[in-house]
Amino acid sequence: MDLVNRPRRLRQTPALRRLTRETRLHPAEFVAPLFIEAGRGLRTPLASLPGQFRWSADTVVEEGKRLEKLGVGGVILFGIPARKDARGASGWDPDGPVPQALAALKVACPNLVLMADVCLCEYTDHGHCGILHTTARGAIDVDNDATLPLLAQEAVCYARAGADVVAPSAMMDGQVAAIRAGLDAAGLRDTPILAYSAKSASAFYGPFRDAAGSTPGKGDRKGYQMDPANPREAVREALLDVEEGADAVMVKPAGPNLDWIRDIAEAVDVPVAAYQVSGEYASLHAAAERGWLDLDRATYETLLGIRRAGATWILTYFAGYAAEAIASGRWDRV
């Protein structure tokens, strides 16, 4: 009996490989990040994110319709306001870019799950995720507790505008509990919270900060974002968020933290999302442009790895690209 070659027998043809594939990708598992800027008639290309744009609330509708037609599961919106201040007050302006886009997409794209990122970094003039204060030692730092009610106010604003899910990313301690209380008090008990629970202080956020204009003016975010070296802490953070009322949790960035995804998926009883961030997307494009790798195959492999690690859904700038590849059957042949 020839046992040596048995594993290879099921790999001989594309049809056999497709039949025996253990993990599959589906467009409904993808969430597309979209940048929404103040103004009208805008579709601004992003140099550091090839194929991505800043949209105004009116033009993003066509992109929403395209993604919906491809079967993409949802979108998550990030705002770029006309004005910034020390508190990030534009973040809860009902006439701001994100609420306007949510309202428009709610009507035009009923089959898209609409998510709204809840953070202050895009709205503050200093680029940090909360308001700043001077510590007893004279250092400038984020005031965690003073930031919580502002995040809750922002989440309520987005939920009222049409967000199906609010997604706090500021990494403030207690942010999920504060937002849950704020939503409940506003009569929005049915609005789910997707918590950015395990978000590391990563080098892979550069293109996003360029696109959103959210690079900190001074200092960095290592004091409130996680150390990439701490997988056990990542699990603790996720469990704390679930205890505070999170309906789903997220790992960010996805690629460098596949072990976090697996560990958290095994520890919690809620869906686990993973964010393939801007630097991951831009790196693949840059390498492909130089002929160092095949963009199609590399995209497929990275998304497959994230799903295989245990992610229920993936936030990725490749959402539309991947959905097209799946619909055409192109990835059945990789």
Would you name the residues annotated as active-site residues? 199, 252
Q: Write the DSSP string, 153-211.
A: HHHHHHHHHT-SEEEE-S--TTHHHHHHHHHHHTT-TT--BEEEEEEB--GGGHHHHHH
The sign one gets for the Cα dihedral 312, 258, 177, 245 is positive
- The span from the CA of 120 to the CA of 132, in Å, is 11
Q: What are phi and psi of 302, to 5 degrees?
A: -70, -45
- Return all residues near 124 (Cβ < 8 A) that are at least 6 apart: 84, 85, 86, 87, 88, 131
89 to 18, 86, 94, 150: CA distances (angstroms): 51, 8, 11, 8
Sequence-distant (6+) residues with CB within 8 A of 5 are none
How far is 317 from 309, CA to CA, in rounded Å? Answer: 19
Token duo for residue 331: 């990835």
Which helix (H) or strand (E) covers residue 282, if one does? Answer: helix 278-289
Yes or no: say if 211 and 278 are a contact pair by the CB < 8 Å rule: yes
* 52 close to 35: Cβ distance less than 8 angstroms: yes
Q: Provide the residue type at 9 as one letter.
A: R
- 74-80 and 140-142 strand pairing: unpaired
